[in-house]
Amino acid sequence: MNIQIKGGRVIDPAQSLDKVSDLYISQGKIIALGDAPEGFEADQTIDASGKVVSPGLIDLCGHLREPGYTHKGNIASETEAAVAGGITSVVTPPTTKPIVDNPAVVELIKDRAERANLAKVLPMGALTKGLQGEQLAPLHALASSGCVAFTNGRHANASSLALTRCLEYAATHDLLVIFQPQDESLTNKGCMHDDTTCTRLGLNGIPESAETIEVSRNLLLVEQTGVRAHFGQLSAERSVRMVMDARERGLPVTADVAIQHFLLTDENVNGFDSNFHLIPPLRSQLDRAGLRQALLAEGIQAICSDHQPHDRAAKEAPFASTEPGIIGFETLLPLSLLLVNQGLMEISQIIDKLATQPAKILGLESGSLEVGRAADICIFDPEEKWSLTAETTRSEGSNTPFMNFELKGRVSHTLIDGQLVYQL
């Protein structure tokens, strides 16, 4: 199908492009920007006047809950939420049931994603068998099956020797390893940041050292093995500073932070609302300020949603007994645009963190509107105000503190490989 996207503000950080222009698509590819190719006849025209046309967003961490936890969500429902948020590719962790530590599970996920025919699902494979931190998972076979990276998630790697062997193998085959750093002994069943608010509320706290100690150890092993590494969903300013220092020394490391950690702090837990129960926890105002500063200083390469749908029962209990996590696919873009509205960043910088840089981290050809690339495209109105409600969310979960919150910036169209998969 031939599609013309007409009169939009085309922003592509990969090409340093920001101008009002037309964009032309044929056979799933972008074939021209500006003037129409000779002989081009549009089968469909999308009027993007007053809107931004950008590369499709790439979310570096979104839990789809399938297989194994379909009472919380499934690939069809969650990818529907993703495309409604302008997300064209979702990286999903291996913490399913069964765990993604063999090619059969990868094939199952890919089959369900193809059946849904919405957002592209990019599975992460388990770094160790069963995420137990002991035996190396079959990384080469998992990569051949379609895994884009490998992680042990927030499960402990108790043996530094075993972790070293895993990283050496990954480095030999140029595989990307993603760390979600957490020292379980220091976490000690805590449920929020260990600070004065935590003490006042009588809740068990999680110190920032539960994250920073693991970041430090992992960086030392990255330096020793030379593996390509990414640190996902960091929450502490000190963690990000360590990664920034490592990059300055030439280590092949990158980092992302979930959007909620740029906006909220531990003080938001005051009302014991379980929608503020997150792992890693919301940190202090100083941490939030440090994360924002690092984002501006290019110390943080990407912003993600860390989307985690839950059934209602998982959040209906005393705060400490609830399951951590919030949904975020549909709110990722408008919440990120809050940083623009607050004067911290430009729209082009936000798109860079949501699309261009995630593609570079994963080694994907997407994340750009360059001629010849796949037509994965997000069209949104940066000025439109709206609210997400329990009735309108596409996700199976409704667990978010941003429910009924006035948002600014709304996706109107999402295209994947030149196919219109979402239209407002």
Instruction: Give the residue numbers marked as catalytic.
Output: 306
H, E, C per residue of 320-388: HHCCCCECCCCCHHHHHHHHHHCCCCCHHHHHHHHHHHHHHHHCCCCCCCCCCCECCEEEEEEEEEEEC
SS3 307: strand
The DSSP H or E segment spanning 17 is strand 17-26
Beta bridge partners of 373: none
> How far is 355 from 57, CA to CA, in rounded Å?
5
> How far is 342 from 327, CA to CA, in rounded Å?
23
> How far is 129 from 133, CA to CA, in rounded Å?
7
Comparing CA positions, the residue from 1, 2, 4 lying closest to residue 49 is: 4
> How far is 332 from 410, CA to CA, in rounded Å?
10
CA distances from 329 to 16, 40, 91, 307, 374 (A): 26, 35, 12, 6, 22
Both tokens assigned to 234: 């960091």
Q: Is residue 137 within 8 Å of residue 127, measured between CB atoms?
A: yes
> How far is 31 from 137, CA to CA, in rounded Å?
41
Q: Which residue has the tokens 């399913």?
A: 96
Angle, helices 209-225/160-172, rounded to nearest 10 degrees: 50
Mode of pairing for the β-strands spanning 57-59 and 87-92:
parallel
Please give the radius of gyration of the chain, using alpha carbons only, rounded to the nearest integer. 21
Beta bridge partners of 327: none
